[in-house]
Amino acid sequence: MKLITPDMKLADAIHSNYLLIPVINRFGIRLGFGESTIAAICNEKNINVDFFLTILNVFSLPDYFPEQKMQTFNVMMIVEYLKKTHQYYREIQLPTIEKRLDLLIEKSPQINQNLQLVKEFFNGYKTELLAHLRKEETVTFPYVEQIYKMYNSDEKESAYNQLAGYSMDIYEEEHDEVDEKLYDLKNILIKYINGDFDQVIISEIIFELFRLEKDIKDHTRIENNILMPLVADMEASLNVRKL
Amino acid sequence: MLYGKQTVIISRDQLQCIGLKTILQEFFNAESVITSQDFNSKVHECSPDFLFLPSDIYLAHGLQVKGIKSRIIILTNYTPAEGMSDNPYMLNITSSQPELIEQLQMIFNDNVEVPNGSPQEELSGRETEVLKLVARGFINKQIADMLNISLHTVISHRKNITRKLGIKTVSGLTVYALLNRLITSEEIE
């Protein structure tokens, strides 16, 4: 797969990796963009083209991660993007998987207790993921926003006194646990499901789980490797005391 | 196919080294590929499973090369006649990529043993016992007491269970145990 560049037609970028469709949606770009180049579309939609390309390339190329460039991005722009990915998980991907699981149970010719078990396991995963997303939205992102405002205000001196001793470090651990459940769910469906079930629907569920896993990995990479270092830099210059 | 195998490529041509290494990694899942500009003692020491080298180096170091136990593949620019010799093998470097891959596939098929089934991946009796207790909701300390083994042993069983099954969380293990009727839902604490 090659690097996506501003002179490329957005349609060609999608042809090279169709999984980018939901990613461009997060920037408010809808399908039907004709022959336009990425630069033209970003210009029209008032999207920072550097940021847009970086997100697309990070998503597409596992070994691509231009940290220096990313350090120049505006923190709020990153938070905005992360919020959009949350919205996508919550409103699109999780409900899609849930509907498929319900269909799987419904279509099973006899009552298969095992499918019910899988559904319950998924519900557990979903609850944890939603709780994690909510925590980021109600605690982490507002904290980032606050520190960003202080960083850009003139009264830096008194700033750190107003900040609660919140640390970004709790982040990674929680991520891991939620991610492990998704990993388990995939293996349960691939290796250990038994009894009577609809092969086609279960394949669709597995596709969705792989897609969700990839998206979450990418999301975590952006949080841990771009957002957190940027916040840490601001914290350092504001003298925020870590607990 | 080359997972867990050691491969050495000797060539003064860096592009050749990089190209071959990439093919071995992308198509044959090679884990450890070392490249070197010349035949030296280092190559000798790591005694690779497969050793790729051009014919001039092979000729210059013939005896030394023969002294090592590796499968030797000589990089040449002609195709050997039918009934290709397997000691050393020849790889025609003027071939197209699909042809190169086919030739390599033949060489590796001859030399890499494919294990029958995966006996190592079945849970042992003890691991199954531990799994059942984990699935029922007991913590490591309780399991150690119940089975009369050390905490350390419980942890090591749990690591093996997770590695073998590909399931990391307790609730995942519970689902596994229920699916396989190792426990019933009434047994869960």
B127 plus B175 within the same structural domain: yes
Read off the pLDDT of residues A83-100 as tens digits, 9 standing for 90 and up.
Answer: 999 999 999 999 999 999
Alpha carbons B189 and A28: distance in angstroms, whole number: 49
Look at residues B83, B111, B139 and tell me which one is the last residue of a structural domain. B111
Q: In sequence order, what are the residues at sequence separation of 6 or more whose Cβ sits closer than 8 angstroms to the Cβ of residue B138?
A: B146, B189
B23 plus B98 within the same structural domain: yes
What pLDDT sits at residue A46?
94
Alpha carbons A150 and A162: distance in angstroms, whole number: 10
Read off the pLDDT of residues A162-198 as tens digits, 9 standing for 90 and up.
Answer: 555 555 555 555 667 789 999 999 999 999 998 888 9
Cβ of A193 and B180 within 8 Å? no
B142 plus B88 within the same structural domain: no
CATH code for the domain of B92: 3.40.50.2300
In total, how many domains does chain B have? 2
Cβ of B179 and A184 within 8 Å? no
- The string of DSSP codes covering A86-116 is HHHIIIIIHHHHHHHHHHHHHH-SS--HHHH
The minimal CB distance from B180 to the residues A121, A185, A192 is found for A192
B106 plus B124 within the same structural domain: no
Q: In sequence order, what are the residues at sequence separation of 6 or more whose Cβ sits closer than 8 angstroms to the Cβ of residue A239?
A: A160
Helix ranges restricted to H, A17-112: 21-25, 38-45, 49-60, 67-70, 75-88, 94-107
B56 plus B106 within the same structural domain: yes
Residue of B nearest to A117 (CA): B175
What pLDDT sits at residue A243?
46
State percent of chain A over pLDDT 70: 90
The minimal CB distance from B167 to the residues A114, A177, A188 is found for A188
Read off the pLDDT of residues A122-132 as tens digits, 9 standing for 90 and up.
Answer: 999 999 999 99
Per-window interface: B 126-185 vs A, CB < 8 A:
165-169, 171-172, 175-176, 178-180
The answer as to whether B144 is a domain residue is yes
Cβ of A187 and B175 within 8 Å? no
What pLDDT sits at residue B133?
96
Residue of B nearest to A113 (CA): B179
The answer as to whether B97 is a domain residue is yes
Alpha carbons A103 and A105: distance in angstroms, whole number: 5
B51 plus B20 within the same structural domain: yes
B91 plus B172 within the same structural domain: no
The answer as to whether B165 is a domain residue is yes
CATH code for the domain of B180: 1.10.10.10
B14 plus B72 within the same structural domain: yes
The answer as to whether B1 is a domain residue is no
Look at residues B82, B111, B140 and tell me which one is the last residue of a structural domain. B111
B98 contact A CB<8A: no
Residue of A nearest to B170 (CA): A181
B11 plus B64 within the same structural domain: yes
Q: How far is B78 from chain A (nearest CA, A)?
A: 33
B20 plus B107 within the same structural domain: yes
Helix ranges restricted to H, chain B: 14-28, 41-46, 55-60, 62-67, 97-111, 125-135, 140-147, 151-165, 170-179
Phi/psi at B114 (nearest 5 deg)? Answer: -95, 120
Range of the domain at B43: 6-111
Residue labelled with tokens 């999780």: A94
The answer as to whether B90 is a domain residue is yes
The answer as to whether B163 is a domain residue is yes
User: A201: which 2 tokens?
Assistant: 């629907």
The minimal CB distance from A121 to the residues B168, B172, B180 is found for B172
User: A207: which 2 tokens?
Assistant: 């596709």
Residue A62 pLDDT > 50: yes
B13 plus B79 within the same structural domain: yes
Q: What pTM was computed for the model? A: 0.80
The answer as to whether B104 is a domain residue is yes
pLDDT tens for each residue of chain B, 189 residues long:
788 889 999 999 999 999 999 999 999 999 889 898 888 767 777 788 999 999 888 888 876 666 777 888 999 987 766 555 667 888 999 999 999 999 999 888 888 777 666 556 789 999 999 999 999 999 999 999 999 999 999 999 999 999 999 999 999 999 999 999 999 988 887
B96 plus B166 within the same structural domain: no
